[in-house]
């Protein structure tokens, strides 16, 4: 299923962004969709990192590689 979204912008913005999309070898729609999706992914990655940092700050436990391998082996995970 395809959906359509409308973005309102000034003519000069559309012209500049369309030219940039063309320079990238994409249509304006392809470039805009890809750029919006990448911005969303970046935002979500940042949120996940901030949540992980908060969790670590609340409980700053770390493990060595050998400890992780031993835990995985005990759980039957890995080669």
CA distance 8 to 16: 14
Q: pLDDT band at 2, cuts 50/70/90? A: confident
pLDDT computed for residue 79 by the predictor: 58
31-73 pLDDT, tens digit each: 999 999 999 999 999 999 999 999 999 999 999 999 999 999 9
Of 18-22, 49-53, 74-78, the range with the lowest mean pLDDT is 74-78
> Would you kindly state where each structural domain of the chain is located, as residue ranges?
21-74
């Amino acid at each position: 299923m395809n959906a359509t979204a409308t973005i309102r912008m000034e003519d000069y913005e559309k012209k500049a962004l369309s030219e940039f999309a063309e320079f990238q070898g994409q249509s304006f729609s392809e470039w805009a969709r890809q750029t919006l999706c990448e911005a969303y992914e970046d935002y979500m990655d940042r949120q996940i990192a901030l949540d992980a940092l908060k969790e670590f700050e609340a409980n700053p436990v770390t493990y060595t590689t050998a400890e992780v391998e031993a835990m995985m082996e005990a759980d039957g995970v890995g080669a």
